[in-house]
Amino acid sequence: MRIYEIMFIVRPDVVEEDLDKLIAQFDGIVTSTGGKVQKAEKWGRRRLAYEVKRCREGQYVLFTIECDPATVREFERRLKVVDSVVKFLTVRVDEELKRLAKIKKKREARAARRRKPAAAAPAPAAAPSLPAEAMAKE
């Protein structure tokens, strides 16, 4: 199982009820193929950077799912077929999470090494000082 984020943009003229139906439909696709929807968020209506299919705005929806690649292919196939979806993007997140966990582990180990010698090392002994008279003779 892998973790994916799928964001898609729906036309701005789609009614809220139809958007909820669309989200429920995609939720059903994931669960029917053995996947798990971690979260499905509606980000609301936002302005697009450029015009896409004659739309300057769109309703953003973000899915975070845990599934196999076949489920993602089916999800994307359905996104292409639905007329109200303007654009979509799928990103595999689990590799990034593994990489971040590895970096965090290295940082913690490095920090532990830095703390350990500082606490265990005794204070350096002061060098024997010469009397002022001995220094003056030299």
**Residues linked to residue 90 through DSSP beta bridges, in sequence order:** 6
Q: Are 86 and 45 in contact (CB under 8 A)?
A: no
- Residues 109-127: pLDDT tens digits? 888 888 876 555 555 665 5
Q: Are 33 and 23 in contact (CB under 8 A)?
A: no
Is residue 125 assigned to a domain? no
Helix H segments across 3-138? Answer: 16-32, 69-81, 94-120, 132-137
Is residue 121 assigned to a domain? no
How far apart (Å, rounded) are the C-alpha atoms in residues 72 and 3?
10
CB atoms within 10 A of CB 63: 21
Q: Are 42 and 5 in contact (CB under 8 A)?
A: no
Q: Which domain holds residue 32?
A: 2-96
pTM above 0.85, yes or no: no
Is residue 35 assigned to a domain? yes
Is residue 80 assigned to a domain? yes
Dihedral sign for Cα atoms in the order 81, 82, 85, 91: negative
Is residue 137 assigned to a domain? no
Dihedral, 87, 52, 55, 25 alpha carbons, nearest 10? -10
The CATH number covering residue 30 comes to: 3.30.70.60
Domain count, the chain: 1
- Residues 5-49: pLDDT tens digits? 999 999 999 999 999 999 999 999 999 988 999 999 999 999 999
Is residue 107 assigned to a domain? no
Is residue 30 assigned to a domain? yes
Per-residue pLDDT band at 74 (split at 50, 70, 90)? very high
69-95 average pLDDT score = 91
Is residue 110 assigned to a domain? no
